[in-house]
């Protein structure tokens, strides 16, 4: 029997810097696309705990994660032998308290803090772009997404 989709859990890391709401993006291992930390369910861990664990492993982040998801997005996960599976990703807001200098996947990924609008331009998943652009309202902070900055990172 073939599975139609699989579920992953992601952290959307954020912080306030000089009155600007910023999010952290990382690069994927294989394609170098800009993404947020995410991973597969782990036995014995809640979905938000999985997201927090992935934020540590993939980006070296520690902080306070919301227990309810901000929303979801879907994408095609590439698998070996030119196969793919549809993944539904539940996204949890992570207020970053600490960013570590050393973390498990630091040799495999680049991480970058960006204002919301800049981050939304870099991610390729349209549903994730929408989640990014609605983050400030979802947090209930009354923070508005800043205007586009032409100095977004390039790969």
Ordered per-residue pLDDT tens for the chain, 155 residues: 455 789 999 999 999 999 899 999 999 988 899 999 999 999 999 999 999 999 999 999 999 999 999 999 999 887 777 788 899 999 999 999 999 999 999 999 999 999 999 999 999 999 999 999 888 787 764 444 334 343 444 44
Are 42 and 54 contacting, i.e. CB atoms less than 8 angstroms apart?
A: no
Q: Which CATH number fits domain 5-139: 3.30.9.10, 3.90.79.10, 2.60.40.10, 3.40.50.2000?
A: 3.90.79.10
Query: Which sequence spans correspond to the domains of the chain?
Result: 5-139
Alpha carbon distances (Å) from 2 to 5, 76, 85, 129: 9, 15, 10, 29
Residue 2: what pLDDT? 54
Residue 140: what pLDDT? 63
For the entire predicted model, the pTM comes to: 0.85
Which residues lie closer than 8 Å to 67 by C-beta, 6 or more apart? 46, 48, 92
Torsion region of 19: left, alpha or beta (phi above 0 gives left; psi -120 to 50 gives alpha)? left
Which residues lie closer than 8 Å to 151 by C-beta, 6 or more apart? none
């Amino acid at each position: 029997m073939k599975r139609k989709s699989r579920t992953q859990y992601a952290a959307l890391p954020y912080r306030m810097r000089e009155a600007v709401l910023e999010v952290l993006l990382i690069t994927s291992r294989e394609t170098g696309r800009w993404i947020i930390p995410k991973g597969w369910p782990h036995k014995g861990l809640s979905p938000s705990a999985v997201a927090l664990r992935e934020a540590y492993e993939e980006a070296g982040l520690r902080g306070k994660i919301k227990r309810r998801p901000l929303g979801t997005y879907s994408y095609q996960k590439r698998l070996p032998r030119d196969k793919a599976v549809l993944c539904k990703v539940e996204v949890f807001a992570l207020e970053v308290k600490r960013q570590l200098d050393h973390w498990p996947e630091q040799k495999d990924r680049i991480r970058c803090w960006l204002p919301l609008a800049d981050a939304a331009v870099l991610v390729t998943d349209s549903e994730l772009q929408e989640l990014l652009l609605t983050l400030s309202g979802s947090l209930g902070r009354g923070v508005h997404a800043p205007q586009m900055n032409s100095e977004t990172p390039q790969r």
